[in-house]
Amino acid sequence: MSVGKEKASLKFTLDLADKGQQSLYAREKFMCAVRRLAVGREKIKTRLFDAYVEIVAVSDSEIPDDLLEDFHWIRNSLTKKEPKRHGVILGRTWSEGRLNATLRGMRLHRAVEITERILYLAEKLQALAKSPK
């Protein structure tokens, strides 16, 4: 094997390893989100709030390209509405935030759709971790 091919092969192997490490954080956070959705005793909207808190810090660079569309769909579906509730408490201005505003008006079937998509993405990330490199 020539030195050029060796370097290319090594770079490809390192790229695969980097991608696995890159999505490790996303995989962990999505599994935490699934746990929140599965074992919580609260209503589904409250569990979705908790699940979103788990995945909010996951960045696009931590999600494989073929799953980005699903990731964006989840994020956009949970932050679609502009906050309408504002106020001042103890001299500080507050807003309910996009997540609360969206969940407040969400129908049950939509909440279930989002929950299913979170589970789907968590399963895909888990499968990628188990696939041979």
Q: How is the chain split into domains, by residue range?
A: 3-130
The closest of 45, 54, 20 to 106, measured between CA atoms, is 45
Question: What is the pLDDT at residue 103?
Answer: 95
- Mean pLDDT (the chain) is 84
Q: Per-residue pLDDT averaged across 78-103, rounded? A: 81
Higher pLDDT, 127 or 89: 127
By percentage, how much of the chain surpasses pLDDT 90?
A: 65
The answer on pLDDT for 91 being more than 90 is: no
> What tokens does 72 get?
């964006």
Integer Cα distance of 59 and 96 in angstroms: 23
By the 10 Å C-beta count (0-12 exposed, 13-18 middle, 19+ buried), 116 is classed as exposed
Question: What is the pLDDT at residue 23?
Answer: 78
> What tokens does 77 get?
């579906």
Q: Which 3 state secondary structure label does DSSP give 24?
A: helix
From 16-20, 38-42, 113-117, the region with the lowest mean pLDDT: 16-20
* Residues 9 and 126 sit within 8 Å (Cβ to Cβ): no
The model's pTM is 0.78
* 94: confidence class by pLDDT, cuts 50, 70, 90: low
* Residues 114 and 48 sit within 8 Å (Cβ to Cβ): yes
* Residues 28 and 125 sit within 8 Å (Cβ to Cβ): no
* Residues 27 and 54 sit within 8 Å (Cβ to Cβ): no
